[in-house]
Amino acid sequence: MSVVIEGIDKRYTQGDSPAVHDATLRAASGGVTALLGPSGSGKTTLLRIIAGLETPDRGRISIHGTDVTKTSVRERGLGFVFQGYALFSHLSVRDNIGFGLKLKTLPSREIARRVDELLELVQLRELGQRKPNELSGGQQQRVAFARALAPKPRVLLLDEPFGALDAKVRLELRRWLRALHAQTHVTTLLVTHDQEEALELSDQVVLMNEGRIVQSGTPYQIYDQPVSPFVASFIGNASLLRGSVDDGQAELAGIQLDAPPGIPSGSAVLAYVRAEEVTLARAPQTNVEVSTVRRIASRVEVEVVLADGQRMTVQLSRIEADALWLQAGDRLRLDLGKPRIFLAP
């Protein structure tokens, strides 16, 4: 196990609720671990604690089996890519990338060779002499990666690496980062609030909320087996339905389903239904009425009203929607698939 943190607590001001509480996680060597959560969930604080930029109140951090809890930032040997890049504005791209190497007092020829290598890796060979403010956001981001990778860090820490970029560049850089990781295999921890980014880039997702780690697992586990209503509502595009359970059968707005084991008869339940996992069909026996149809480029979002007046969103592809000739006021048959059902608090 490469990066292990145990029981980390951090409180910025006495009396406030903790920024991070009792965080324990293991990030596998050579893998990508995503710290995912809404803003203010403590994920950036946790990353900065791992980097040594913040001191935890309690807990232990070890990297490759060595306890580094008391080790200073500079001796931890980590690469950090900051949100908003934090490039040295007075230095050229080459000098930015070579900064960490110069501090190691390597011979200048070796520094030049390594900087060339990195410029090649981040595809900025022509731009070595530019200043950071003469580059686009995506280019600056790649310089930040090259600078962090130059001293060959044991672990790469990324804080919202694509946060400040527009949607198209984000997507490009995401692909680029996957390819980069396939080449370097450096152990990576990534902080993001974007679930798609986390689910696409990582082998392990650590989901945080209000300073606590609420679930960790592979992207599939997080997506398919949410452990709490928070996870179920945060991941994917889920609608909430309220219902009840009786004798192992859940009833949601007149629709009967198998209830998960362990929910006592007569209790109220919350069901999270993913918009992309349900189907609509024309059938003699209908159970929903279409209230609005929104066409968003290649997909169609349909809002439906269930028998007892509860509403939910269904996502269809344009082809599916066109085949149904969907219009507001249509009565259709809805199949809920396998919603995640939790005992109501």
Partner 1 sequence: MSTRTLSDAVREPRWARVLLTFTALGFLGLFVGAPLVTIFAAALSRGAGPYLAAIGSADTWAAIKLTLLVAAITVPVNTVFGVAAAWLLARYDFVGRRLLLTLIDLPFSVSPVVAGLLFVLVCGAHGLFGPWLSAHHVQLLFAIPGVVLATAFVTFSLVAREVLTVMLAQGSREEEAAFTLGASGFQMLWHVTLPKIRWALVYGVLLCNARAMGEFGAVSVVSGHIRGRTETLPLHVEILYNEYNFVGAFAAASLLAFLALVTLAARRVLEGTDE
Q: Which residue in 89, 256, 267, 292 binds partner 1 (CB under 8 A)? A: 89
Using the minimum distance from each CB to partner 1, give the nearer residue, 89 or 256: 89
Span near partner 1 by CB under 8 A; candidates 32-40, 95-103, 161-169, 316-324: 95-103
Task: Determine, following the binding rule CB under 8 A, whether residue 94 of this chain makes contact with partner 1.
Answer: no
CA neighbours within 13 Å on the CB side: how many for 70?
A: 0
In the complex, what is the shortest distance from the CB of residue 72 to partner 1, in angstroms, rounded to a whole number? 8
* 158 near partner 1, judged by CB under 8 A: no
Give the residue with the Cβ less far from partner 1, 77 or 137. Answer: 77
Binding characters for partner 1, 41-70, by CB under 8 A (x = yes): ----------x-x-----------------
CB 111 within 8 A of CB 101: yes
Instruction: Check residue 146 for interaction with partner 1 (CB under 8 A).
Output: no
Q: Does residue 35 interact with partner 1 by CB under 8 A?
A: no
Does 230 sit near partner 1 (CB under 8 A)? no
Q: Identify which range of 79-87, 120-128, 171-179, 218-226 contacts partner 1 by CB under 8 A.
A: 79-87
End-to-end CA distance of the chain: 37
CB-based burial label for 182 (10 Å; 0-12, 13-18, 19+) = exposed
Residue of 73, 283, 323, 328 interacting with partner 1 (CB under 8 A): 73
Query: Which of these ranges, 62-70, 147-155, 210-218, 227-235, lies near partner 1 under the rule CB under 8 A?
Result: 147-155
Q: What is the C-alpha to C-alpha distance for residues 120 and 123, in angstroms, rounded to an integer? A: 5
- Per rule CB under 8 A, count of chain residues that contact partner 1: 25
**Residue 108 engages partner 1 in binding (rule: CB under 8 A):** no
Interface with partner 1, residue 103, by CB under 8 A: yes
| CB nearer partner 1, residue 59 or residue 77 | 77
The distance of closest approach from Cβ of residue 7 to partner 1 in the complex, given in angstroms and rounded to an integer, is: 24
Instruction: Assess 225 for contact with partner 1 (CB under 8 A).
Output: no
Q: Which of 47, 119, 148, 270 binds partner 1 (CB under 8 A)?
A: 148
Cβ-in-10-Å burial (0-12, 13-18, 19+) of 174 comes to middle
163 makes contact with partner 1 (CB under 8 A): no
Q: Should residue 151 be labelled a site residue for partner 1 when binding is judged by CB under 8 A? A: yes
Binding site for partner 1 (CB under 8 A): 51, 53, 73-75, 77-80, 82, 84, 86-91, 99-100, 103-104, 147-148, 150-151
